Structure 1
Amino acid sequence: MLLRMLPPGLYAGRVSRLIERSALVYRRAWLVFVSGVVEPLLYLLAFQIGFGALVGDVIGPGGQPMTYVAFVAPALLVASAMNGAVFDATFAVYFKFRWSRLYEAMLATPIGPLDIALGEISWAVLRGGMYSVAFLAVMAVMGLVTSPLALLLIPVALLVSLAFAAVGMACATFLRTPSQFEYIQLAVMPMFLFSTTFYPLSVYPGPLQAVVQVSPLYHGVELARGFATGVVDLSMLGHVAYLLALAAVGVWAAARRVSKLLLR
């Protein structure tokens, strides 16, 4: 309802048209979706077959012992959702914005800047959700799903996708050359490696723990790992609030940047 009260030049309520367009474009590029699942899946298989045998059991949420591959799997699931969302919200948006000039053509229709932001972010969230569903199915086949609450990994992955897609699209509007995508990777790769994806927070030195807890992926990993093991506590509300706040800021910034750059 609040969106409908915005000026028509900013929002016209046609987000579904952008999602439909993206679905039509990608229906012949299904291999792109497969690639988003393959990388974390290879990590998972490597830990199951090799590295996990060397590490043995680790202490998971609630102090309960668990295999290392079961510890890592939920984190890889949300990391897969993050990667899919970031790809669509940065690379794809940059191409449409700087090269094909697609958004300029869209603004010649009743579609507004907020439509564009919400449409692109929504598609990125759907893509991240598809990755997470496929990954959860693989986890189930490998016997890594031990709690009914593991089904909540899908909403967690969607929330992570929303936060990263929103911020990623806002960042993409600042990029001027393809070489600047290295900055995106410079932010995403350390988050993937150090957001308690492979190690519990307790192994980091005290000052570094505070840095890790700022990472958006850390909050997604903690949510996913808790639900995967069936350990739920009030701290999860803080993780959800962090990701929702980040998503709201990202959507606002993306819509503002699109409006500023295309309606000037």
Structure 2
Amino acid sequence: MTAYLTALRAIVLREALRFVHQRERFVAALVRPLVWLLVFAAGFRAALGLSIIPPYQTYITYETYIVPGLCGMILLFNGMQSSLSLVYDRETGSMRLLLTAPLPRGWLLFCKLLGSTMISVLQVYTFLIIAGLFGIQMDPLGYLAALPALLISGLMLGTLGLALSSFIKQLENFAGVMNFVIFPMFFLSSALYPLWKMAESSSTLRDICAVNPFTHAVELIRFALYGQFNGWALLWTLLATVVFMALALWGYDPARGLVNRKG
């Protein structure tokens, strides 16, 4: 058990130090959602009127609606950013050193995943504080209730990045992943508009959004911010986490030669 905890501490500390030395990454992670909140939301406010839907008990502004989705955006893009660092680690050889440690491969990958997720959650709370300064405030207990939801959602999106990093052979290919994975996952979700609004234009599109794991991560965060529990969203998010983690373990299996060839 001591060896497991030592590995956890070392890997999480390494991720924290990397984050401290890349402070521009912290600022960049906040600029994107703040632009959506302060600029795009103003334009969409009239076009995307909202009805009273759970967990809301009354009509809300569009800015209030998209805050959980923007929290998910931070987690999603940071999850992909961590996958970029994994590709870099594999090319430089540090990933090979990590995975040859005398500990289960799954635990080592989880430690790295946990470190990046904790940083993402910190960025989300910083964004929520800034949003609060602009009048987008939640119930005080909601901020506390959102912590487990943010951790679970962050782990799910982190495992997605982990799985993708095992198949990305070069850093140059990361831009393609951004275009074909991140953006469709974000826009085909309930982050920017409710599913009933999507159904007005296309029922097929609505169904795609309904099975998107990111949709359920956003709804898990949305309900948690209002002190409510969404069991269906939790189930889908946990299921997606298990599937993505299984893919990551398979992708980083030395027997497949990926780590040996690139590490």
Question: TM-score of the superposition, structure 2-length normalised?
Answer: 0.84
Deviation at 1:13, TM superposition (A): 6.8
Q: Do structure 1's residue 147 and structure 2's residue 139 form an aligned pair?
A: yes
Give 2:161's aligned amino acid.
G
Q: Following the alignment from structure 2 to structure 1, what is the Cα–Cα distance between the partners of residues 49 and 244?
A: 38
Which residue among 163, 169, 190 is the counterpart of 2:156?
A: 163
Aligned to 2:249: 255
- When structure 1 is superposed on structure 2, of 184-193 and 129-138 the one drifting more is 184-193
C-alpha displacement at 1:194, in angstroms?
2.4
Structure 1: segments with no counterpart, 5+ residues: none
In the alignment, what sits opposite 2:39?
A: 46
Check 1:12–1:220 CA distance in 2 against 1; reply closer, same or farther (3 A cut): closer
Aligned match of 2:60 in 66, 70, 73?
66
**In structure 2, C-alpha distance between the alignment counterparts of 1:172 and 1:107, rounded to whole Å:** 14
Instruction: Tell me if the contact between 1:116 and 1:255 (Cα under 8 Å) persists in the aligned partners.
Output: no
SS at 1:197's partner residue? coil
Partners of 1:207 and 1:227 in 2: CA distance: 28
Residue type at the aligned position of 1:87: Q
The 5-angstrom pairing of residues 5-84 of structure 1 reads 14-47=7-40, 50-51=42-43, 54-55=46-47, 58-62=50-54, 64-84=58-78
- 4+ residue runs over 6 A deviation: none
Secondary structure of the 1:174 match is coil
Q: Aligned pair in 2 of structure 1 residues 34, 111: CA closer, same or farther (>3 Å)?
A: farther
Q: Shift of residue 199 of structure 1? A: 1.4
Preserved contact between residue 170 and residue 250 of structure 1 (Cα < 8 Å): yes
Give the CA deviation at 1:103: 1.9
1:135 pairs, out of 117, 127, 131, with 127
Partner Cα distance (2:63, 2:233) in 1? 23
Q: Does 142-151 or 214-223 show the bigger shift?
A: 142-151
- Assess, with a 3 A threshold, how the Cα gap between structure 1 residues 214 and 134 changes in structure 2: closer, same or farther: same
Whichever residue aligns with residue 7 of structure 2, its letter is R
Counterpart contact for 2:16–2:119, Cα < 8 Å = no
Q: Which amino acid aligns with 2:212?
A: S
1:165-180 to structure 2, matched below 5 A, reads: 165-180=158-173
Residue 216 of structure 2 is aligned to residue 219 of structure 1: yes
For 1:221-255, what per-residue CA distance to the aligned partner results, in whole angstroms no more than 9, with x for missing partners?
2222333445x36xx11111111122122223323
**Mapping of residues 198-209 of structure 1, within 5 Å:** 198-204=192-198, 205-209=202-206
170, 177, 186: which one pairs with 1:183?
Answer: 177
Q: CA 1:254–1:15 in structure 2 vs 1: closer, same or farther (change >3 Å)?
A: farther
Q: Aligned residues: percent identity?
A: 20
Contact 2:52 2:59 in 1 (8 A): yes
Q: How far off its partner does 1:24 sit?
A: 2.2
| 2:112 matched residue in structure 1 | 120
Give per-residue Cα distances to partners, 1:110-155, cap 9 Å, x unaligned: 3552233112211221121112111111222222124245313333
Deviation at 1:263, TM superposition (A): 6.8
Contact 1:192-1:217 at 8 Å conserved across structures:
yes
Q: Distance in 1 between matches of 2:45 and 2:160?
A: 38
Provide closer, same or farther for how the CA distance between residues 227 and 47 of structure 1 changes in structure 2, counting only shifts above 3 A. Answer: farther
**Contact 1:81 / 1:158 at 8 angstroms: preserved in 2?**
no
